Amino acid sequence: MNTKKLLLVLLLGIQTIFIAAQDNYVRVVARPGDNAGSLLKWFDLDKYSCNERQFYEINKLKEGATLKANSVYQLPILYYRYNGKSIRTTIDDSDINKALRIKAYNEALEKKGLMAANFVNTRTLWVPYHELKCPGEKVVSEPVAVETPKSSEPAKGDFSIFGKDNPIKKKDNILKGAVYYIVSGHGGPDPGAVGSRGGKNVCEDEYAYDISLRLAKNLIEHGATAYMITRDKDGIREGEYLPCDYDETCWKNKTIPRGQKSRLNQRASAVNGLYEDHKKTAKLQRVIMVHIDSRSKSEQTDLFLYYHPLSPSGKNVANTLQATIREKYEKYQPGRGYTGTVTARDLHMLRETKPAAVYIELGNISHKRDQQRIVKASNRQALANWLYDGFVADYKKSK
């Protein structure tokens, strides 16, 4: 096949490449920290030793070799163009039990978010190597799901998440009875958008998290209850360059899944569970999603916002924040102007969370001037303060 026909698909923080060749192996771009075992586990291939042997063989690696981040590796998964009739005729094998296992395998990866959609619709069928090439090995009836470790939730009133140098100092009860669920974008295996500055990577999840953490601190100090749904041990940081890492967790210290669909469902479930706990006593509940957009290096953007088209409360929150940010620019940077927009979008987290929700994009991580908005700690604090003022205005309007 001509390499110009190579199809590259970005899935859930994983770059998966399909390419036709004599053996059509699915390919993946390794992330920092990946090894053969972690890749095989995420694709439900780790239960069969022949898969591991084949991984090293097709990638021409010695057993136990270290993988290079951002390099492409073949997985022991064979890619077939589904013929629209049946799995058996697609792979030319009449074994009905094998076909059922392959169907379950594809459905399991779709559920984890590692495949874009159902193989019937995409005509993309993935067949694990062990099903075709390892007849001597035992095959389980269905792929084994990766479980996340169980642990108790952080103690109520434990504010260590902000760091030892940032204690909570209660100031007033302006936001008494308000409950906020702050979902900082990406995290764990997915750093989100990555810009470049001074020869260093600028990862969306690190900067969105730091601003989110500062906002949560503001809200708590003024009487609100605020939950950081995406969590890290770094605390509030003052440096310009925040190292990219992959150790973030979800509320109650759950490991963040690699698949996007699983990751979003995990966060929505955490928010909705807490919402049910508070709905009888809270005066107001809000979901705050914080992201940093990625566009052309030449395209500067102001902070802009999304709300769900079926949520009038979400629209009101977004409009109130927009008005607040505009007022801040007029006060502190007169004549600059502000072009941030408010738009309805049917995004998963806006749709699936129960409280009124707003999705905040802080700027373009690839634009040099927009980067100034996030890399300077003083600017991150200013953003958190301005957003806090917007939520105070929203709270007062809701009374």
Q: Is the full-model pTM beyond 0.85?
A: no
pLDDT digits (tens, 9 = 90+) for 81-122: 999 999 999 999 999 989 999 999 999 888 877 877 888 888
pLDDT band at 260 (very low <50, low <70, confident <90, very high): confident
End-to-end alpha-carbon separation of the chain, Å?
64
pLDDT band at 31 (very low <50, low <70, confident <90, very high): confident
Q: What pLDDT is stored for residue 46 in this prediction?
A: 84
Instruction: Look up residue 190 and give its DSSP letter.
Output: B
Report, in this order, helix, strand and coil percent for the chain, each rounded to 5.
35, 20, 40
Least confident of 147-156, 185-194, 300-309: 147-156
Q: d(Cα 319, Cα 397) in Å, to the nearest integer?
A: 12
Least confident of 3-7, 62-66, 209-213, 390-394: 3-7
**Cβ contacts of 335 within 8 Å, gap of 6 or more:** none
Three-state DSSP state, 125:
strand
Single-letter residue type at 227: Y
Q: d(Cα 357, Cα 211) in Å, to the nearest integer?
A: 18
Instruction: Count CA atoms closer than 13 A to 305's CA, side-chain side.
Output: 23
Q: d(Cα 371, Cα 292) in Å, to the nearest integer?
A: 10
Q: What pLDDT is stored for residue 5 in this prediction?
A: 36
pLDDT exceeds 80 at position 356: yes
DSSP for 310-342, please give it. T-HHHHHHHHHHHHHHHHHHHHHSTTS-----E
SS (H, E, C) 74-107: EEEEEEEECCCCCHHHHHCCCCHHHHHHHHHHHH
Is the Cβ–Cβ distance between 304 and 321 less than 8 Å?
A: no
Domain boundaries, given as residue ranges, for the chain: 3-133, 160-398
The 10 Å Cβ neighbour count of residue 154 is 16
Three-state DSSP state, 122:
helix
Q: d(Cα 192, Cα 186) in Å, to the nearest integer?
A: 5
pLDDT digits (tens, 9 = 90+) for 182-222: 999 999 988 998 888 888 899 999 999 999 999 999 999 99
Is the Cβ–Cβ distance between 303 and 364 less than 8 Å?
A: no
Element (H, E) at 73: strand 72-81
pLDDT exceeds 70 at position 142: no
Place of tokens 């209660």: 170
Single-letter residue type at 115: M
Q: What count of residues does the chain have?
A: 399
Average pLDDT over the chain, rounded to whole?
Answer: 86
Q: What percent of the chain has pLDDT over 70?
A: 88
Question: What is the side-by-side strand order in the sheet with 72-81?
Answer: 7-11, 14-18, 25-29, 72-81, 124-128
Q: Does domain 160-398 have CATH number 2.60.40.10?
A: no
pLDDT exceeds 70 at position 7: no
